Chains A and B, each alone.
Chain A
Amino acid sequence: MIIRSRGEKIFSVFNHLFLVVLAAIMLLPFLHVLAKSLSDEAAVMAGYVGLVPIGFNLRTYKYVINNYEFLRSLYVSVVVTGVGTFLHVLITSLVAYPLSRDYLVGRGPITFIFIFTMLFSGGLIPTYLVVKGLGLVDTLGALIFPGIFSVFNMIILRNYFASIPDSLEEAAKIDGCSHLGIFFRIMLPLSMPAIATVCVYTAVGYWNNYFSALIYINSRNLYPLAMYLRQVVVDTSSQLVDLNPEISNLNPQSVRNATVIASTVPIIVVYPFLQKYFISGIMLGAVKE
């Protein structure tokens, strides 16, 4: 098979070592914060905690998962992500399908109308004024609707629809199936790999977004998890202590660490299952017209 010189063997050893170190660099920040969140406050304050918890306890987690604000923002994130992803995938695939049909009259100009939104933007302030004008400010709608269509996802889906053999569509037409019927009964079920990929991208996007909440949401009870976490991280002790008298015997830094870990867990849990869809999306997007 492959003949390996001594130089190549030495390289191979170093390559493995290097990648292990790299993976460690990716994981260490988490492990460090995790260790701190599980440690005794005094040890954290003194800076003794490295990667192993000192004075192991779950007090901060008990506080975080019983914290009303944390649970409420978790709920908001689940709603926004669920509803947003469903509508996004529906609307984006409804656009992608007609634009994947080469017989559609005006396909070029219509496609350009959609793609142009990726090339040029009116900017933050005019968009804010439109959202405000629609009465969406301080509603969950402001977190859901502005991101409900994406050119990138549309291209992924369009390429996938275009790759499905025409004969299926023709056969269905002869059987008297309408365009909408063909889309829902044939095209969507056949496109599940692409739909799943787009779902995953969109859900991650909604879940991680805090900027929309920062500009559109004023009331704390509509904060999604990312925005709540930002408050906890950026506005350090103030509101934690003010709003929650029972916290005073917990160190705000420990609570912050536990909140960071608790917010990361949902992503870490689903990540291994969804990983293959993330990667296939890159390939689908790269397929040329």
Chain B
Amino acid sequence: MTDLRRRPHKASSSKFKRLKQDKGLYLMLLPGLIVIILFHYLPMYGAIIAFKDFNIIKGIMGSPWAGLKHFSNLLYAPEFYRVFRNTLLISIYRLVFQFPIPIILALLINEIRNVLFKRSIQTITYLPHFLSWVIVGALTIDLLSPSGGLINKVLGSIGLGPVTLMDKKYFRTVLVASQTWKEAGWSAIIYLAAISSIDTELYEAAVVDGANRWKQTLHVTLPGIRSTIVFIILLRISALMLTDVEQVLMLYNPLVYEVGDVIGTYVYRQGLGRMKYSYATAVGLFQSVVGFACLVVANRLSRKYTDTSMW
């Protein structure tokens, strides 16, 4: 307590005092700081091997510089265009086909009055989100098995199919569909939360004006969750360069590389499979830089069109 009375007047020394007083707080940051330096900032530094001919014995520092060789190699590699196109296309398909489903689901769940029924539907549709891609992949492989997979049996009985994981025509469809199956329920939560925060007076006013449920949905609910919808679209745009590698690695095979190989899986095979460390790092760096640019653009749009920004 005596300290307080002897507090110095100058602002700079009071700042210093604060630092000293809050030493404990800075110490608490330390373990986390060490973790992100080791596993995030050190790899960012290590990414300079994209500009070197990395040799595991000479290490990051000792390996000779290679300039932009790996980046020009990448621009001449037909495989690179393939994985770039696939990554982008799969993201766009997800944006177009997968994105509206949780909104519709949230609107439908919101119309249910019976609490028990509502709860059960929610519980069941959220469940797949918590399963590993290994399990969901295994279920997908089983359902699409050319010899007696359930989906192919149903399709066969109406004269369609078969849809298999070896078929280039359907591979991206399978990726988007299995992900929708896994995530649709879970993604609906954020819209349900947005719907529940809409002022109930708006609905009462709409009823007074003679609006039925459909009109209420159109003129109250949808405008009420508009900013959430925009925000989610922007989040998706910021992740255009990312594909769920755990999913693709579970489902793809060399027969469908042409349509299913994405940047993440390509980096994995080139880098860890064929030990082309520098080249794979260059591909990864390209992904990170373009991804970062998408993020910055999306965040700027988000600030402009909604009140939320990601940072």
- The residues of A with any CB-CB pair to B shorter than 8 Å are 5, 7-8, 11-12, 15-16, 18-19, 22-23, 25-30, 32-33, 36, 47, 50, 90-92, 94-95, 97-99, 101, 103-105, 110, 112-115, 117, 119-131, 134, 145-146, 148-149, 154, 178-180, 183, 204, 207-211, 214-215, 226-227, 229-230, 233-234, 256-257, 260, 263-264, 267-268, 271-272, 275, 278-279, 282-283, 286, 288
Q: B18 in the interface, Cβ–Cβ < 8 Å?
A: yes
Additional A-B contacts beyond A121-B44, A123-B287, A148-B39 (10; CB < 8 A): A22-B105, A122-B45, A124-B268, A125-B277, A146-B39, A149-B39, A210-B132, A229-B138, A264-B135, A267-B130
Which chain A residues lie closer than 8 Å to B264 at the CB level?
Answer: 124
- CB under 8 Å from chain A, chain B span 98-114: 105, 108-109, 111-112
Whether A126 contacts B121 in the complex (CB less than 8 A), given A179-B22, A230-B250, A260-B139, comes out as no
Whether A123 contacts B193 in the complex (CB less than 8 A), given A91-B31, A260-B139, comes out as no
A278 to B145, CA, bound (A): 33
Cβ-neighbour of B28 out of A30, A33, A94, A214 (below 8 A): A94
Which chain B residues lie closer than 8 Å to A15 at the CB level?
Answer: 108, 111-112
Which chain A residues lie closer than 8 Å to B295 at the CB level?
Answer: 119
Which chain B residues lie closer than 8 Å to A233 at the CB level?
Answer: 134, 137-138, 141, 250
- The residues of B with any CB-CB pair to A shorter than 8 Å are 15, 18-19, 22, 24-29, 31-33, 35-36, 38-47, 49, 60, 105, 108-109, 111-112, 117, 120-121, 123-128, 130-135, 137-139, 141-143, 147-148, 150, 153, 181, 185, 189-190, 193, 212-214, 245-246, 249-250, 264, 267-268, 271-272, 277, 280-281, 284-285, 287-288, 292, 295, 308, 311
Is the CB–CB distance between A123 and B142 below 8 Å?
no
Whether A256 contacts B138 in the complex (CB less than 8 A), given A29-B143, A94-B28, A98-B26, comes out as yes
Chain B: minimal CB distance from A87 (Å): 9
A33 to B45, CA, bound (A): 47
Whether A134 contacts B267 in the complex (CB less than 8 A), given A26-B127, A207-B132, A263-B135, comes out as no
Give the tally of cross-chain contacts (CB within 8 A): 248
Chain A: minimal CB distance from B283 (Å): 8
Chain A: minimal CB distance from B290 (Å): 11
A134 to B35, CA, bound (A): 12
Which chain A residues lie closer than 8 Å to B125 at the CB level?
Answer: 22-23, 26
Which chain A residues lie closer than 8 Å to B44 at the CB level?
Answer: 120-122, 126
Is the CB–CB distance between A130 and B138 below 8 Å?
no
